[in-house]
Chains A and B, each alone.
Chain A
């Protein structure tokens, strides 16, 4: 009988393996979708879904993404877009953490929210959505709040962590735990037309520095809320940072904070 590798190689069009071949390989060789995707990439072939990535990410880079684990803490405005984009990018293992269910006031911006999902778990919606996009991507859902006591366990094995939280005390805890575990953290925050993001490398105290004047309560988001576009913009920029960290591109948002004002359409850079 033909081997899985031979089957995939013979089914490739050029170096692209169509989804139909990936699916039939799963059935013929009793493999999971993830196992087949890993074999394709290991053979230096490319699942056809990634063909528009290839001028940005090499096949070797695509394999690296597929073998990576990224933890997304918070699965609301920022986190929904982050999970979706990481999955479409081809990051193979995602951890989604959020204790909440969808409420009506989420419908203006949260990607996985819908009328049918009202009252249902945000992380369960993330699992269902990603399963419908690419079943090769594994999403581990934790319907709990990130805390100092469960943090280390939730982040286990993550190469990069995304801060998509909605409150400052939890952000400070996350940043401290990432430092303790030696994991880079891509921080993003939004409110109204405004937002900022920065990448914190282990040993740096960037998030603590951003919030050094904070004593209690929330930021401008409490007064301004969040429209549809601000989380989409900041989340996309966070994903670009994650992508570079995973594939070893070195031009990070390091030692600087990028602040966005989408009302004035201005970007400002602050050195730290």
Chain B
């Protein structure tokens, strides 16, 4: 199945900005974070189809996953 993955800010470096990627059925957000080698402690907003989701969220064909780094400065 196809999932569109969008990366933001510092996560684009050495990876990509947006890609339609092929994944097996049953894959969860956390699996893709692992595949992309994004450290868990740098994760900010993680959204599927414009909603903020838990890392355990299962993806389905046609979903868009967007991953933002943690932002906390003032």
Contact = CB atoms under 8 A, between A and B. Distances in A.
Nearest to A166: B74
B51 interface: yes
Nearest to B41: A215
A189 B40 contact: no
Given A220-B10, A224-B10, A259-B68, A271 B73 contact: no
B27 interface: no
Contact of A219 (B51, B52, B73): B73
Interface string B16-42: 000000000000000000000000111
Contacts of A78: 74
Contacts of B69: 191, 194, 219-220
Interface residues of B, number: 24
Q: How large is the interface on A (under 10, 10 to 19, 20 to 34, 35 or more residues)?
A: 35 or more
Given A257-B52, A271-B50, A271-B52, A226 B73 contact: yes
Interface in B28-74: 40-47, 50-52, 54-55, 66, 68-74
A190 B51 CA distance: 21
Contacts of B41: 213-217
Nearest to A194: B9
Contact of A79 (B50, B51, B71, B74): B74
Which secondary structure characterizes the binding site on chain B? mixed
Contacts, number: 113
Given A214-B41, A257-B45, A270-B50, A189 B74 contact: yes
A214 B39 CA distance: 11
Given A196-B45, A210-B44, A213-B40, A221 B8 contact: no
Contact of A171 (B10, B40, B72): B72
A189 B54 contact: no
Contacts of A261: 8-9
A192 B66 contact: no
A223 B45 CA distance: 18
B19 to A, nearest CB: 16
B45 to A, nearest CB: 5
Interface string A200-218: 0000000001111111111
Contact of A272 (B43, B52, B68): B52
19 contacts: A78-B74, A79-B74, A165-B74, A167-B72, A189-B74, A195-B71, A196-B45, A196-B68, A196-B71, A210-B45, A213-B55, A214-B72, A218-B70, A218-B73, A219-B71, A224-B10, A257-B52, A261-B8, A270-B50
